[in-house]
């Protein structure tokens, strides 16, 4: 499980995610230590009774650390006293995780949440709960069960760093233990029949999406009221569409006059280190037409060959003629390739061109792959 994750992260942005990955790895070990008690070192044997005494059986420093840790840990200890199970095992988790906890606020939050459920008095789930707690602590996920106050807090800080698998397990543990048959807990003063529950869920979904939209559209966060916000959104969408139309008109006006050769330099300049290789070369529909003319220095430097797939060009004379006019304008510098390549978008590596076709296609494919992998 671990190697794919790390490799996946390595591709994206290793600098950003490595601390989280270290965290997840640490949690992996802890959870495995949970599952396999034999791998424990220095812990009390899993005995039948006396949870708290078993806790005292832990090495002194660990117990001290547990009890004197941040105030958020207090509920943990107190709940252990309530429960009647050998809960010493999970205590290793907070000790190891203490350095990895993002903030105490999340713990307090979670403690508050769990204390609510503890009040319901489901002792059978205490061990499962505790096991779930530290797992949960690293990835405060969005509760699928919209329990009233808990959901609000969760949505406030939902930033899943750990993979969803562990959090899902945690959620399933907690949900299965606490609320076996009821999915939504009604808030105070609200109807509890099925219809209003469904309606409320639907309304909350819509409101969540509306909030998302509000953040997206500039200037909508100040507006209160669904109707006005919707108006603003519609206005924004129409504005964007109109802008697209105007820009397309502009592009269409400029299109015939450009040779697409100097374009990629601008594109790469603005978009960062794009691996566009410039070089002469091109598959043309009509190979015999265009000589290899070396024109101005700028255009030669910025050349991009134009590979035209045969299917791409419609079976009319017009585009070919427009191509030829571009060529005759003298801005382009292309070579002839007798065989058309099969791939559509190929960028030539920076060499002077007359390499044989299969060689070139290999190079081009890698360049294309690199450009697309981004």
Partner 1 sequence: MIASSSSACRSKTEEAGRKAQPPTKWRATAQQRVYGRRLLDALRATAGGGARAVKAAADSALALTARGQSRWSRAILLGRRRNRNRRNLLQIKDKIRSDRGRTRPASAPRGTDRLRVLRRLVPGCRKLSAASVLEEAADYVAALEMQVKAMRALADAFSGAARAAATEAQRGA
Residue numbers 322-351 binding partner 1 by CB under 8 A = 322, 329-331, 343-345
Nearer to partner 1, 15 or 42 (CB): 15
Given candidates 216, 289, 294, 362, which one binds partner 1 under the rule CB under 8 A?
216
Binding characters for partner 1, 233-272, by CB under 8 A (x = yes): xx-xxx-xx-xxx-xxxxxxxxxxxxxxxxxx-xx--xxx
**122 vs 320, beta carbon nearer partner 1:** 320
Contact (Cβ atoms closer than 8 angstroms) between residue 131 and residue 173: yes
Q: Which among 289, 294, 265 has a CA at the least distance from the CA of 278?
A: 265
Regarding 20 and contact with partner 1 (CB under 8 A), the answer is: no
> Least distance in Å: CB of 258 to partner 1?
5
The radius of gyration of the chain's CA atoms, rounded to the nearest angstrom, is 32
Q: Could you identify the residue written with the tokens 């382009």? A: 332
**Separation between Cα atoms, residue 318 and residue 368, nearest integer Å:** 29
User: HEC string of 210-264?
Assistant: HHHHHHHCCCCCCCCCHHHHHHHHHHHHHHHHHHHHHHHHHHHHHHHHCCCCCHH
Minimum separation from the CB atom of position 66 to partner 1 (A): 37
Whole-angstrom CA distances from 75 to 11, 63, 72, 81, 119 are 41, 15, 7, 10, 12
Question: Which CB atom, from 63 or from 230, has the smaller least distance to partner 1?
Answer: 230
Q: Determine the interface stretch with partner 1 among 59-67, 111-119, 205-213, 277-285 (rule: CB under 8 A).
A: 205-213
The answer to whether 119 touches 164, Cβ cutoff 8 Å, is no
> Which CB, 189 or 314, lies closer to partner 1?
314
Q: How far is the CB of 333 from partner 1 (least distance, A)?
A: 12
What is the closest distance, in whole angstroms, from the C-beta atom of residue 200 to partner 1 in the complex? Answer: 13
* Min CB(78)–partner 1 separation in Å: 38
Distance CA 160, CA 154 (A): 11
**45-104 positions binding partner 1, by CB under 8 A:** none
Cβ-count burial of 287 within 10 angstroms (0-12 exposed, 13-18 middle, 19+ buried)?
A: middle
What is residue 48's DSSP assignment?
S
Q: Is 202 in the site for partner 1 (CB under 8 A)?
A: yes
**Residues 161-200 contacting partner 1, CB under 8 A:** none
DSSP character for 330?
T
- In the complex with partner 1, the residue whose CB is nearer, 105 or 201, is 201
- Min dist CB 311 to partner 1, Å, is 5
Residue closer to partner 1 (CB basis): 33 or 341: 341
- How far is 53 from 165, CA to CA, in rounded Å? 33
Q: Does 294 bind partner 1 (CB under 8 A)?
A: no
DSSP 295: -
Closest residue by Cα to residue 175 from 125, 138, 139, 107: 125
Report, in Å, the least distance between residue 22 CB and partner 1.
22
* Nearer CB in complex with partner 1: 67/228: 228
């Amino acid at each position: 499980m671990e190697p794919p994750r790390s490799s996946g992260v390595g591709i994206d942005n290793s600098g950003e995610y490595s601390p989280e990955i270290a965290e997840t790895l640490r949690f992996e070990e802890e959870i495995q230590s949970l599952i396999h008690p034999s791998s424990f070192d220095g812990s009390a044997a899993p005995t039948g009774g006396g949870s708290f005494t078993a806790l005292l059986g832990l090495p002194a420093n660990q117990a001290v650390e547990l009890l004197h840790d941040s105030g958020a840990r207090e509920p943990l200890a107190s709940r252990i006293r309530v429960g009647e199970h050998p809960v010493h095992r999970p205590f290793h988790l907070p000790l190891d995780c203490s350095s990895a906890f993002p903030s105490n606020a999340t713990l307090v939050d979670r403690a508050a949440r769990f204390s609510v459920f503890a009040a319901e008095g489901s002792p059978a789930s205490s061990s499962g709960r505790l096991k779930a707690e530290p797992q949960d602590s690293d990835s405060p996920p969005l509760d699928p069960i919209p329990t009233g106050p808990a959901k609000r807090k969760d949505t406030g800080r939902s930033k899943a760093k750990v993979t969803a698998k562990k959090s899902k397990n945690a959620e399933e543990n907690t949900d299965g233990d606490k609320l076996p048959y009821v999915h939504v807990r009604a808030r105070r003063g609200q109807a509890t029949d099925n219809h209003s529950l469904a309606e409320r869920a639907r309304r909350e979904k819509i409101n969540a999406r509306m909030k998302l939209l509000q953040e997206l559209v500039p200037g909508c966060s100040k507006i209160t009221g669904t109707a006005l916000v919707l108006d603003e959104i519609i206005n924004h969408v129409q504005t964007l569409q109109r802008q697209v139309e105007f820009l397309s008109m502009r592009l269409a006006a400029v299109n015939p006059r450009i040779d697409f050769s100097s374009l990629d330099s601008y594109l790469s300049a603005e978009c960062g280190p794009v691996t566009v290789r410039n070089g002469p070369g091109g598959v043309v529909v009509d190979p015999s037409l265009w000589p290899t003319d070396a024109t101005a220095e700028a255009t030669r430097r910025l050349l991009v060959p134009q590979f035209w797939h045969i299917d791409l060009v419609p079976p009319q004379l017009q585009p070919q003629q427009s191509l030829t006019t571009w060529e005759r304008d003298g801005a382009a510098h292309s070579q002839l390739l007798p065989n058309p390549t099969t791939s559509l978008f190929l960028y030539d590596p920076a060499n002077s061109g007359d390499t044989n076709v299969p060689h070139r296609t290999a190079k081009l494919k890698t360049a294309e792959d690199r450009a697309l992998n981004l």
